[in-house]
Structure 1
Amino acid sequence: MSPLRSRAPKPLYTLVVEIANNQMETLKEGGFNLCVAKKANGAYTVVWSGKSDYLHENTFSWEEDYQVFGLNKFKLGALVKAETNEVDIAFGQTCTLDSAGVMSPATGPTDDSGVFTVKNEFGKICLGVNQKLNGTFLPVFVSPTVISGTATFEPIVEVKVWLQSHTETSTMIFNADEPGIEVSYAGDISKTVAYEGKVGLGQWVQK
């Protein structure tokens, strides 16, 4: 009898964001938060992290751990709040939101496809995705329009980092239009970016 093959452990991705010391006072006085969003289905629609307590070196880490949920609407500037139960899901699996509005446990084998699916039997509703960041599940994506029928989600290892005044974790956005820096991992598991330069004229650079 052949031995059971265990799947390779999930990679732990890391993002280090450095803020130059000479920028800190101006940014804090202006109420700027350090924001990170992760791309899913080709867009950034939620602030995954909006930190006001950032320091010179800030580390974000995650694995590819996901949940799905439903909510009634996408509202620009509002905070994401799941309105159905939240259910763990992995790449290759499917969840069903039934006609009563209950999200079923995920079914099907896991794989390396990079996508998972929600079958919506409830009716028109927005669907959202949580991903674990620094050990806590937080919203990473919400569909900007209501969905009926089946929806496929494809989060990728690409993030955007920017500074924006009074923008909190879980805020719904349209593609993070603020100037910032996009970071694609492209096979890497660790990246470092920095905000530096003359006071009040900082620029993002990748290290």
Structure 2
Amino acid sequence: MSTPGSLKLHSDSSYTLVVEIATNQMEVLKSGGFNLCVAKKINRVYTVVWSGKSDYLHKNIFSWDEDYQVFGLNEFKVGALVQAQTNEVDIAYGQTCVLNSVGVMEHATGPVDKSGEFYVQSEYGKICLGVNQKLNENFLPIFVSSTVITGKATFEPIVELKVWLQTHVESGTMIFDVAEPGIEVTYSGGASKTVAYESKEGLAQWVQK
């Protein structure tokens, strides 16, 4: 089930997020080692930094399609980078991949639908499962299960993103949700959103435009 105010997307959808950083904030942010971070919800949580950019500029554009891959890995560890340890397989909403008993992720089967969910059936034993999503034309990790999984797992991407600034994180870093202050963006209407980090009355803050 979707969370209130959230929207499940389907594989024919394309979306854009524009993140503007005020020019008078750039020096202090970059000298402090802050990265521009974006994460997206799956199963109502954020567990991976989808993009952690150190080379951000005033205007930063993130474009993505609802294209996914699934994979397995042995461990979820906060602060570590995601590294798929099985093969990575394309999957669409409504489909199921089987991670077989020897640790091979088999091709997705089943009809594509608009359910907003896809599945992995693990026959391997206890293992964490991960998801990649295409961002700016490249597949990058977006989710890892924080616990090991046996049997069937359901993955429900939600069109809700968190944008924030943080040191010592980069793309693919595993996190336990997002404790850092930032801004959440929900695509409940329209395919393009813009947020900005700017200074108002001497206080830097996130705003949605």
Give the shorter-chain TM-score range: over 0.9
For residues 64-123 of structure 1, what are the alpha-carbon distances to aligned partners after superposition, in whole Å with 9 as ceiling and x for unaligned? 000000000100000000000000000000000000000000000101100000000000
Equivalent residues in 2 for 1:72-83 (5 A)? 72-83=74-85
Q: Which runs of at least 4 in structure 1 moved beyond 2 Å after TM superposition?
A: 198-201
Cα distance in 2 for partners of 1:142, 1:9 equals 20
Pick one of 15, 18, 37 that aligns with 1:13. 15
Partner of 2:3: none
Pick one of 51, 61, 64 that aligns with 2:63. 61
Determine what percentage of the aligned residue pairs are the same residue: 74
Is the Cα–Cα contact under 8 Å of residues 26 and 200 in structure 1 kept in the other structure? no
Distance change (3 Å), C-alpha of 1:29 and 1:100: same
What RMSD over aligned residues (CA atoms) do the two structures have, in Å? 1.4
Pick one of 168, 185, 192 that aligns with 1:183. 185
Listed as ranges, the gaps of 5+ residues in structure 1 are: 1-7
**TM-score, normalised via structure 2 length:** 0.93
Partner of 1:89: 91
Distance change (3 Å), C-alpha of 1:70 and 1:139: same
Listed as ranges, the gaps of 5+ residues in structure 2 are: 1-9
Cα distance in 2 for partners of 1:206, 1:87 equals 35
Distance change (3 Å), C-alpha of 1:101 and 1:25: same
- What's the offset of the Cα at 1:202? 1.1
Cα distance in 1 for partners of 2:126, 2:202 equals 45
Is the Cα–Cα contact under 8 Å of residues 11 and 92 in structure 2 kept in the other structure? no
Equivalent residues in 2 for 1:127-166 (5 A)? 127-166=129-168
- What's the offset of the Cα at 1:11? 2.2
Equivalent residues in 2 for 1:97-108 (5 A)? 97-108=99-110
Partner of 1:23: 25
Cα distance in 1 for partners of 2:203, 2:73 equals 39
SS of corresponding position for 2:172: coil
- What's the offset of the Cα at 1:12? 1.3
SS of corresponding position for 1:197: strand
Cα distance in 2 for partners of 1:22, 1:81 equals 36
For residues 14-46 of structure 1, what are the alpha-carbon distances to aligned partners after superposition, in whole Å with 9 as ceiling and x for unaligned? 000000000000000000000000000010000
Partner of 1:201: 203
Distance change (3 Å), C-alpha of 1:206 and 1:50: same
Letter in 1 for 2:49: V
Distance change (3 Å), C-alpha of 1:104 and 1:199: farther
Cα distance in 1 for partners of 2:201, 2:147 equals 40
Partner of 1:4: none
Partner of 1:111: 113
- What's the offset of the Cα at 1:10? 1.5
Is the Cα–Cα contact under 8 Å of residues 23 and 200 in structure 1 kept in the other structure? no
